[in-house]
Amino acid sequence: MDEITAANVLRWYESLEEQVLDFMQVVPPQGDNLHVWSPQRATVVVEAGSLIDSVLRDISPARVTVRGTSKKRSARRVREAGLLPPPALRTGHESFPSSGSSISKAV
């Protein structure tokens, strides 16, 4: 993941976190509020899933075998990322931003 993409992912995560915190100030997670449904909460859940999908696709190798079938990164589903053996996942260290970059300071 390049530095610009990493910065965008971090901003996306921070936006989701802010939306959850804002919602919790209006509807504290306690008592009957634990069963409250809202479109805002649903949107955060969907966006969080999309963010997880994007990050898992980025850190996974270009092609792996899933249940005996060779699949490209773009053809895999999120749940299939969990089936990958640990050595098949890239560490990301080779392209992680340097300690002097703005994204490293934010993390």
In a domain, 42, yes or no: yes
Q: Where are the alpha helices (DSSP H) in the chain?
A: 3-26, 39-59, 78-81, 102-106
Query: Does residue 103 fall inside a structural domain?
Result: no
Cα atoms in the 13 Å half-sphere on the side-chain side of 69: 7
Task: Specify the pLDDT at position 95.
Answer: 43
Q: Tell me which residue of 95, 94, 63, 98 sits closest to 80, measured CA to CA.
A: 63
pLDDT digits (tens, 9 = 90+) for 50-78: 898 888 778 777 777 777 888 887 777 76
99 domain-assigned: no
In a domain, 26, yes or no: yes
Q: Establish if 79 belongs to a structural domain.
A: yes
Is there a domain that residue 98 lies in?
no
Which residues constitute the domain of residue 64?
Answer: 3-92
**Mean of per-residue pLDDT scores for the chain:** 76
pLDDT, residue 78, reads 65
Q: How many domains does the chain have?
A: 1
Q: How far apart, in whole angstroms, are the C-alpha atoms of residue 85 and residue 10? A: 26
Give a yes or no: residue 101 inside a domain: no
pTM of the model: 0.59
> Residue 100: inside a domain, yes or no?
no
